[in-house]
Amino acid sequence: MTDERTVESQADSGWAMAGVAFAATMLLIIGAFQVIAGLAAILDDEYFVRVRGYAFHLDITAWGWIHLILGVALIATAFGLFSRAAWAGVVAIVLVVLSAIDNFFFIPYQPFWALLLIALDVWVIWALTRPRALRT
């Protein structure tokens, strides 16, 4: 009976680590997308079309810096997840929540891009919050 538990826990651990590896890979992709959007906004303030009648009037350059900083933090956290750092799971969840909120405000400027990133953020949250996802 002990052998069966050991086999089950090893199988669960394999599935859990696959979920963490998936989340880390997605964090790298989301971080890269955030960096690209941030650089586009910083380097060319006219790249994003200004939306009239939007409740939140945002400075595109400032928003670009937010995207850039958040993207770099997401990439660093992804490497933390790959190295199984204890802090990385919680930090990853906090950062993807911030990323989803950030992209929610960016929907009028780049709707498809923002919605894609929100969907990827939710996917990462799911991967990291599954039972036993962050246990070793």
DSSP 132: T
pLDDT per position in the chain (136 positions), as tens? 444 544 444 444 554 567 788 889 999 999 999 999 899 889 987 777 766 777 667 778 888 899 999 999 999 999 999 998 889 989 999 999 999 999 998 888 888 988 999 999 999 999 888 765 555 5
Q: How far apart are CA 88 and CA 99, in angstroms?
A: 16
pTM of the prediction? Answer: 0.79
Q: What is the spatial distance between Cα 121 and Cα 101, in angstroms, rounded to a whole number?
A: 10
CA pair distance 123, 4, nearest whole angstrom = 32
Q: Is the dihedral of CA 126, 129, 132, 135 positive or negative?
A: positive
Asked whether the beta carbons of 37 and 63 are under 8 A apart, the reply is no
CA 117, CA 115: separation in Å to the nearest integer? 5
For the chain, domain boundaries: 28-45+56-136
